[in-house]
Each structure stands twice: as structure tokens, then as C-alpha cells.
Amino acid sequence: MASLGTFLLLASFVACSYSAVVAVVGARRGSRRLIESGIGAFYLVCALMSCASAVMINAFLTGDFSIKYVEHYSDSVQPLFYKITSYWGGLDGSIMFWVFLLSVFGSIAVWVNRERHRELIPYVVATISTVQMFFLYLMVVHRNPFTTFLTTAPSEGQGLSPLLQNFYMAIHPPSLYTGFVGMTIPFAFGIAALITGHLDDSWLRAVRRWTMFAWLFLSIGLFLGMIWAYEELGWGGYWMWDPVENAGLLPWFTATAFLHSVMVQERRSMLRVWNVMLVIITFFLTIFATFMTRSGVVQSVHAFGEDRTLAWLFTGFMVVILTFSIALVIYRLPLLKARNELDSWLSREAAFLVNNWILLFSAMFVLFGTMFPTLSEAVAGQRLTVAAPFFNKWMLPVGLILLVLTGVGPLLAWRKSTVRNLVEQFLWPTVAGLVTAAAMIALRIPLWSSGFCFALCAFVTGTLVQEFWRGGAVRRKNTGTDMLTAMIGLVGRNKRRYGGYVVHLGIVLICLGFAGNGFKRTKAFVLEVGQENTIGRYTLKNLAVKVSDDGQKQMVTGHIAVFANGKQLDTAYPAKWYYRRHEQEPTTEVAIRRTLPEDLYIVLGGYDAATQSATLEVHVNPLVDWIWLGFGILALGTGIALLPERAYSFALAKMPAGVATTAGALLACVLLGGTTLSAQPGMPGASASTQTSYFARTPLEAQLQKEIVCTCGACGHAAIGECRKDPCQVSHELRAEVAALLDQGKTHDEVIRAVIASHGGSQDMLGAPIDEGFSRLAWLFPYLLGGGGAVMIGFAAVKWSHTTKPSTETPAATESELEERIDDELRDLD
């Protein structure tokens, strides 16, 4: 199967090169047949990559551990869902997944536009093929996901890290990749337009929808990453300005800028160079972000490992992209001249321009901050880093300015606003903002910065309500329906505009959530059983700390009663889970009590199972849930703007208002599904599948659990502490037996003898033979072998040293290292 996969990748590479060359040649010679052939090869790549993906998923499902990648990111007991998502769990697979997505999106884009933009298509095909070739080249020569073990194949995989076995984390990468890869399509159309010189606004129409689509998935990807960090990492926050997080944010800024400035070009034929540049920069940043996180250039705790070859390949590719695109832009500058000038700074295009500058500034600033350690090392020789406070200090005012513009932009008229329409448009929103500000002062909430943000949120909401209300009122008068129907009709009439407003509403809610961060409270304390402590309006009481086991993992759960105003609200179950085989890496299961005003976030930091004391870190996070809600509304708004004309008019005719409700319900389902999947069971102790745990309590017990082999027959003689045929009753009983024997005060050897005696007296069930008598020979054997080998090599070295350099090799390398080297050498021979 693995060789089939490798072959498919190679075939894709060949097809890509063919389609790139033939499409360009066809376009230059004006040969329709050559172009068609190139497009055909382009579709073929999509088919080949789909097959390769199928091979990969099949390997994961059937547990083909002879493939290194499968062995590394999966194991046989992993749930089906995570087996599939392991496809993009690592570097090699994620590159392959990238090419797969790109081939699918590219084919769709070419298919949809094959008639409308006939003159652009050959170059679109060539550009996308070139990008695919780069990634395929990476795989073929450097990181082939189908690399196999050429010597012995392991019978079991290493498994996905427990931290990543989370619903949000499983769907976060594909969403982010969809966003990243989607940005290639606008780039390809932009390049095609530049090459052909068809620089009227028609190429923009082709890419607008794609950019919106990619932007939507980028936003969802960022959102999923945030909610994962919040739920799984247990530090009470959601954004750390980590390089990996920033990488996703960079193209998001420039894509947002493009979505706004493209309107200016459509309406006023301005900013034409700017828009082409934004498309190029956005694409460049997606590649750059991948480079940053995959090559080890930037130090990050969760960046992928260092890989110099990859870094150089990426650098070369990025240099090519930048030189080629910028040279093209300069070459076409005469065609890109703006046809209009800015009439007034009090116009919508001016507001969009400022918004663009600020978004671009944000992107450059985040890029600067992220690359700062690398830059300072290159310039000053000192590795200096900047941390979250630095980013926050800068991005806070920037965010507030953007929020103001969100409100101001739509209210200004195109070309020039008069004083009269300024008053007319701004009166009520400003009043809303001022009233909120006054309320903030009355409530003694500090005006800088949270209070100010709240006031701005009120202002922007005011403008949005006003827009909807006025538009609805006009439409109601014209059509004679009720207000709600009129508003829905309004959205249908101008989906982009009103969809955009819905997105803005989402942004307001997200900002509201960010502002809530200013009122965050954190407290850490130790609670003995029965003790209480308070934070904010909550009182927490430790009822018990219980240990249980469900076969796959041991769970230490704190039972914490939550009181407010003397009444018990809830019982929270913060926990630590120790997955078998990953005992050294417990996962923190946070208990979050979600309410719209604030989240109560309880982390079990430590515990003492004997005294049942719990160390808790508790956060009260006001308004956090508004961020998630805001993202939902943002997605809904983008969905409205993206809906094809036909679908909407059909929906409007058949089921008024149904669309929005369905989309909302669907989204809610997905998110709720996520919560239930990733949420911990409410009452672990009561679950029928749990049993008493015989987790190693002492080093001696741990050692015994490693030495005694499970006899269940299904796990390939794993130690009883590691048997992965979960839930395995046999290993469980053996652990119980060991624990009971130890409780009787028996020593290591006594326990082993007793266990052997009670299971037929065979030493089969020992991971290593007992160190006595004849068994010692077995112990000695590897040493004899190793020593003999050393002597022989030394002898050979002396003998050969007369003619050649002496071999300094000693058999010190462990067997696994040796195997790996043989693997590599064999591969070089291939």
C-alpha cells in the first residue's frame, strides 16, 4: 500500500509539471487543445491526490504500522474519529493534506470559471500547479509520508498525544488549512490577470467569493484554536501570542483588508495596485506562516521541530514568489493606474483606506513581534524575545481604532459626506455610545480601556441597528409586509452588505468578550476535605478527591461544591487524567461552569490522594462566552454573504427566514457536538464502566508492572502496566494481584515468584527472565554478543588500517539506531 501511495505522489508531481507547462505553452500559442490538455492533467492531479489520501486513511484505519507516519501518530486502540484525523497530525501528512485540498479547490475554481474567465484559466492552472509542485517536491524528496520501515515493522503505534485527543483540536487544522489553501486561488487569479494584462475588475469578481470562503475558514480555525487552548491547556486564557497562533493571524489581517478594499475598487476603481499587492501578500503570508511553524526558525513551545533542509526549500520558494509577483506588478503598473482620486477624507473609501492601513500595520507588527527573537539575534547577536504584554499594549489601541472604523465606515457616504448626512447618520449611535460611557462612569468601571471598549461596542451596535431599521422601514413601506419579513428581504436583496453587517455584529461581541478580560480574577489555594475558600461571589468547598480508572486512563477527580449566596449552584469535577503509556504526561481536565456573564474555571493543579486535599487554581472569566458567540455570528454573517444568488432566491420563495435558522441551528449543532465530545463526564465515579484503579503507587510497583507481561494474548505481550487492549480484564486482574501482594509486604522477588506460581509456574509472563541460575545466561548473551562484535570490529580495524583509515565504529549504537541507519542507507540505494 505504501508504495502505491508513493507512486501516486510521484504521478501527481509529473501530472502537475505537465499541466503547468502545457497550459502556458497552449496559452502562448493560442492552442485550445493544448490548454484543454493542461486542464485535464490538472483535474487528474485532484483525482490522484484523492486516491493518495484514501490510501493514507486506509493505512490509518487498518493500522498499517509498517508506514512510519502511521506508527508515529496512531495506535490500534485510538477511537475511529482520531484515527482519521491523525492523517494531518504530523508534518508530512499535513503537507500532503495541503496538496490534496489545493488540488480540490483548484479544480473547483477552474471548473466554475472555465467559461467566464477563459483567458485567465491557463495561467491560473499553471500557477496552482507550480505551488502544488513545490509541496509535492517537498514530499517526494524530503518528507514522504509513505516512508516505511524497511527492516522490522513495529506491531503497535505510538499513539496521538492525549493533549491532542480533543474534538476541537482534531478539526482545527483542517479548518485552518482550508483557509490557508483557499488563499492560493485568489493569488493564482491575480497572477493570471497580471500576466495576461486583463486587469479590469473581472478577475476580482472571480476571487471575491473565494477569499470570503477562505477567510471564513481561517476565522473558524482561529476560533477552534482559541477554544481548544481555553478548554484543554488549563491556564484560564485563550490567546498567548505564541508564534504558532500568530502564524494563523497574519494572513487573516491582510485577507480582511482585501475584503474591504475590494469594495473600493468595485465602486470607485481605486486602489488597484493595492488590491493586487494584498492578494500577493496574503498568499505569501500563508506560505511564510507555514515556514515559520514548520522549520524551527522561530522558537516556540509548540512549533514543529527544527528542519534545516525544509527551511532552505521554503526560503527558496518564498524568494521566487516575491520576486516573480512584484516584478509582474511593476511591469503592469501602467495598466493598474487608479481611475479616480480620493475626493474627501470624509468618505467611505477613506475610511476603508484607513482600515486597510491599520490591518496591514497589524499584520506587519505581529510579524515583527513574532520574528523579533530571530531578528535581534541576527542584528545584535542577542536573542531577545517579546512576550504577550508587549503585543497587548500595541494591539489594544489598534483594536479599538478598528472597532471605531467598523462603526464609522458604513455610515459615511461614498465620495464625500455632507455635514447634514453626518448628523443624520451619527446622532443615535453616538448617543448610544455616550449613554453607555456615562453608565460605565456611574458604575465606576475604569473608562480606559474596558469601559471605552464597551462604549464603542454600543456605538457600533447602534449603527448596525440603525442600518437594519432604516433599510427595513423603507422596504416595509414599499412591499407592505411586517418589519421582520422586510428585514429578511433586505438581507436577501443585498447579501454582501447585510451579511457584512452581521459579521460586524459578531466582531462587536468578540470585542466585548476581550474587554471582559480586564475584569478577570484568579486565585490559587489548597483545600483539605471539607474546607472552603471564596473567589468573587463564589464559595468553593472540597467534598472529596477520588481516584478511578476506566481501563484507558486513571482519573483523579476533585469533587468541588460551588456555592453562591449561601446556595449550592453546582458540583464541579476538575480532574487530572493519566493515559496509559503516557503516565508522565497527565492531562488537566478543567471544570468550566459557563454562564453568559462569567465563566467559573477550576483547575486541579495538584492533589494528595491520601488526605484528599486538592490544590486548585480558580479563574473567574467575565464575558468569555461572548467571544465564542461572536464567532458563531461572524460565521453566520459570512455564510449569508457567501450564499449563491440562486440558493437565496429559492430559499426566499420557499421558506422565508428558514435559511438563517437552519444555518444557525447547524452551527449550534456542530459546536454543541464539540462540547459534549470534549466535555468530561459529569460524574465520573458513578459511571458503570469505571473500576478501582491499580495504578502504580510506588516505584517498586511501577517496576513490577513493567516486568510482568499481560497474558490476554491480544496485546502482543505488553507489560501489564501498558497493555493497550483496553479495557483488558486480564491485565487489570494481574495489577490487582500485584497490588495485593505488595500490600502484604512482599519484596520484589517474592511478588514475582508468587505471581508465576499462581499462573502455572512459567516464566513466559515475565518481560525479562529472573536474574538467577540458568537465566543469567540469557542476561549475559546480549553482552557477549556485543563484546564479541566489538572485539571483531577492533580486529578488523587494526587489520585494515594498513591500507585504509581505521573504522572507529563501535557497537555502542543501540539496536534501534542501527535499524534506523540501515533504513536510511537502504533508502539511499532505492
Partner 1 sequence: MTHRYIKIGATVLVLGLAFTGMLWSTLREGTEYFKNIDEVIANQQEWQGKKLQLHGYVVPGTWVKNTKSLEYKFKVQNNPARHESTGGIVEASYTGILPDTFKDEAEVVLKGQFGPNGFQVEKDGVMAKCPSKYEAASKSATSGS
Q: Which stretch binds partner 1 (CB under 8 A): 139-147, 181-189, 205-213, 671-679?
A: 139-147
Query: Please, what is the minimum distance in Å from the beta carbon of residue 617 to partner 1?
Result: 5
Residue 393 found at the interface with partner 1 (CB under 8 A): yes
Q: How far is the CB of 607 from partner 1 (least distance, A)?
A: 10
Cβ 235 to partner 1 shortest distance, Å: 6
CB of 300 to partner 1, least distance (A): 9
In this structure, which amino acid lies at residue 602?
I
* 3-class state of residue 540 by DSSP: strand
Quote the CA–CA distance of 829 and 822 in Å, as a whole number. Answer: 11
CB of 83 to partner 1, least distance (A): 16
**Beta carbon nearer to partner 1, 81 or 368:** 368
Answer for the pair 134, 20: CB distance below 8 angstroms, yes or no: no
Which residues from 285-304 bind partner 1, rule CB under 8 A? 296, 299, 301-304
Q: Does 385 bind partner 1 (CB under 8 A)?
A: yes
- Dist. CA 333–CA 216, nearest whole Å: 31
Question: Which range in 199-207, 444-452, 792-800, 820-828 contacts partner 1 by CB under 8 A?
Answer: 820-828
How far apart, in whole angstroms, are the C-alpha atoms of residue 738 and residue 434? 71
Instruction: Show contacts of 563-571: CB within 8 Å, 24+ apart.
Output: 563/532, 563/538, 563/539, 564/537, 564/538, 564/539, 565/537, 569/538, 569/593, 571/543
Grid cell digits, residue 342? 480620493
Residues 626-655 that bind partner 1 (CB under 8 A): none
CA 696 to CA 717: how far, in whole Å? 19
Looking at the Cβ atoms of 283 and 579, the one nearer to partner 1 is: 579
Candidates 2-10, 232-240, 498-506, 754-762 — which segment interacts with partner 1 by CB under 8 A?
232-240
Cβ 56 to partner 1 shortest distance, Å: 17
- What one-letter code names the amino acid at 792? M
**HEC readout, 765-811:** HECCCCCCCCHHHHHHHHHHHHHHHHHHHHHHHHHHCCCCCCCCCCC
Residues 751-780, one symbol each (x = binds partner 1 by CB under 8 A, - = not), give: ------------------------------
Residue in this structure with the C-alpha cell 509577483, named with its chain if needed: 325
- Contacts of partner 1 in 572-631 (CB under 8 A): 582, 584-588, 603, 605-606, 608, 613, 615, 617
Binds partner 1 by CB under 8 A, chosen from 15, 39, 67, 72: 72
Closest to partner 1 by CB, 306 vs 771, is: 306
Question: Least Å distance between CB 372 and partner 1?
Answer: 8
H helix or E strand, kind and range, residue 525: strand 521-527
Using CB under 8 A, which of the segments 88-96, 592-600, 674-682, 782-790 binds partner 1?
88-96
CB 616 → partner 1: shortest distance, Å?
A: 9
Site string for partner 1, 26-65 (x = CB under 8 A): ----------------------------------------
Question: In which region does residue 63 sit, left (phi positive, over 0), alpha (psi from -120 to 50) or beta (all else)?
Answer: left
For the window 536-575, what string marks contact with partner 1 as x by the rule CB under 8 A? ----------------------------------------
Nearest to partner 1 of 373, 622 (CB atom): 373
Question: How wide is the angle at C-alpha 643 spanned by C-alphas 219 and 508, nearest 5°?
Answer: 40
309 is a site residue for partner 1 (CB under 8 A): yes
**To the nearest whole angstrom, how small is the minimum distance from the Cβ of residue 153 to partner 1?**
15
- Smallest gap from Cβ 532 to partner 1, in A, equals 16
Q: How far is the CB of 172 from partner 1 (least distance, A)?
A: 14
Cβ distance to partner 1 smaller for residue 608 or 749? 608
Q: Which is nearer to partner 1, 106 or 586 (CB)?
A: 586
The total of other beta-carbon atoms located within 10 Å of residue 448's CB is 10
With CB under 8 A as the contact rule, the residue among 33, 116, 383, 776 that binds partner 1 is 383
Per CB under 8 A, which of residues 506..525 are in contact with partner 1?
524
Amino acid identity of residue 582, one-letter, is H
In 3D, which of 407, 627, 625 has the Cα closest to residue 506?
627
Q: Is 221 helix (H, G, I), strand (E, B) or coil?
A: helix
Shortest gap between Cβ of 453 and partner 1 (angstroms)? Answer: 20
Query: For partner 1, which is the closer residue by CB, 12 or 86?
Result: 86
Q: How far is the CB of 261 from partner 1 (least distance, A)?
A: 20
Is position 699 an interface residue for partner 1 (rule: CB under 8 A)? Answer: no
DSSP, collapsed to helix, strand or coil, labels residue 681 as coil
* Count, residues near partner 1 per rule CB under 8 A: 58
What binding mask, one character per residue, do residues 399-428 give for partner 1 by CB under 8 A, x or -?
------------------------------
819 binds partner 1 (CB under 8 A): no
State the Cα–Cα distance between residues 269 and 336, nearest whole angstrom: 10
- Dist CA 664 CA 672 (whole Å): 12
Read off the C-alpha cell for 293. 511553524
**Binding of residue 382 to partner 1 (CB under 8 A):** yes
Determine if 816 is a binding residue for partner 1 (CB under 8 A): no
Least separation in angstroms between residue 806's CB and partner 1 is 23
The residues, ordered by sequence, that sit 6+ positions from 101 with a Cβ below 8 Å of its Cβ are: 174, 177, 178, 181
Quick note: the x/- pattern for partner 1 over 157-176, rule CB under 8 A, is -x-xx-xx------------
Among 373, 516, 558, 684, binds partner 1 (CB under 8 A): 373
372 binds partner 1 (CB under 8 A): yes
State phi, psi for 557 to the nearest 5 degrees.
-120, 130
Q: How far is CA 673 from CA 83, 84, 680, in A?
A: 19, 18, 13
Annotate 122-160 with DSSP letters as a single string: HHHHHHHHHHHHHHHHIIIII--TT-B-SSPPPSS----
Instruction: Give the span between the Cα atoms of 264 and 247, in whole angstroms.
Output: 28
Q: Cα(first)–Cα(last) distance of the chain, in Å?
A: 17
Nearest residue (CB) to partner 1, 618 versus 765: 618
| Selected range binding partner 1 among 129-137, 142-150, 168-176, 799-807, rule: CB under 8 A | 142-150
Sequential DSSP letters for 34-48: HHHHHHHHHHHHHHH
d(CA 517, CA 444): 17
- Going by the DSSP 8-state scheme, the letter that residue 686 receives in this structure is G
Helix (H) or strand (E) holding 617: strand 613-622
Residues pairing with 578 in the sheet: 554
Residue 146 Cβ, how far from partner 1 at the closest point, in Å?
12
Amino acid at position 597, single letter: P
Q: What is the DSSP letter of 691?
A: B
Binding site for partner 1 (CB under 8 A): 68, 72, 89-91, 142-143, 147, 158, 160-161, 163-164, 233-235, 296, 299, 301-307, 309-310, 372-373, 376, 382-387, 389-390, 393-394, 524, 526, 582, 584-588, 603, 605-606, 608, 613, 615, 617, 820-821, 824
